[in-house]
Amino acid sequence: IHQEAILHKKVKIGAYSVIGKSVEVGEGTEIGNHVNITGYTKIGKSNKIFHSSSIGEQPQDMKYKNQETYLEIGDRNTIREFCTINTGTVEGNKKTKIGNDNWIMAYVHIAHDCIVKNNIVIANSATLAGHVEVDDHVVLGGLTAIHQFCKIGQHSITMGGTLLSQDVPPYVRAVSRGGMAFPNGINSEGLKRRGFTSKAISDIKNGYKIIYMRNNSI
């Protein structure tokens, strides 16, 4: 642990982990064994980071020249084994940002300048390229791969193995066909679990039909 790192007295750190100079970790956060936290990284309260993750490392961007860029992680996130989360770039917004109450499973990669908001589930081995934005209550299936600059709307869901090269509107269920993503209805089960009324879900379904099933132009 670098002597200039700022750690709350109630932070727990496992064996062989390394905490860098410009790292700040909030109250109640638990860090497992063999975790590397570096860069200008700020981690909030009550997070749990499992073994062998790399948090706050330099972005995998060939334009990066050791500039001061940031990673900010909120509160109550779970980050499982072997995840990699990078800082931002000066060409982006200089910051990668993870919100609150997210469940990030093993081997997930979150690249530079991504914005991952709140209450999101990212399943095993999903990959977010640079500048991706993921809105609240999204579920990304395992092995989902998202192209840079894509935006994923709130309450949407992707099937495992989905390759996304375009934005996903809110509420939509995206599935993979022949290596490409296609809309496949709405995330009605997820909406029910989050308390959406039958009327609201019906209205969303009607909106989906107007956009995707009437052969209208954009």
Cα–Cα distance measured from residue 170 to residue 154, given in angstroms and rounded to the nearest whole number: 5
Strand 180-186 vs strand 172-177: parallel, antiparallel, or unpaired?
antiparallel
Q: What is the pLDDT of residue 63?
A: 94
| d(C-alpha 46, C-alpha 18), whole Å | 19
Residue 31's alpha-carbon distances to 3, 47, 115, in angstroms, are: 17, 8, 22
Give yes or no for a contact between 183 and 174, defined as CB atoms under 8 angstroms apart: yes
Q: How many CB atoms lie within 10 A of CB 111?
A: 23
Task: Name the residues annotated as catalytic.
Answer: 112-113, 130
Which residues in the chain land under pLDDT 50? none
Position 37, amino acid: I
Q: Do the beta carbons of residue 150 and residue 130 sit within 8 Å?
A: no
CA atoms 28, 44, 134, 125: torsion sign: negative
Q: What is the pLDDT of residues 94-109, one digit of tens each?
A: 999 999 999 999 999 9
How many Cα atoms within 13 Å fall on the side-chain side of residue 93? 14
Which residue type sits at 128?
L
pLDDT score at 180: 84
Q: Which two tokens stand for residue 180?
A: 């490409």
| pLDDT value at residue 93 | 85
Tens-place pLDDT, residues 177-214 = 887 899 999 999 999 999 999 999 999 999 999 999 99
From first CA to last CA, the distance across the chain in angstroms is: 54
Encoded amino acid at 193, one letter: R
CA 146 to CA 8: how far, in whole Å? 35
Output the pLDDT for position 178. Answer: 81
Strand order in the sheet with 30-31: 12-13, 30-31, 48-49, 78-79, 103-104, 121-122, 139-140, 157-158, 172-177, 180-186
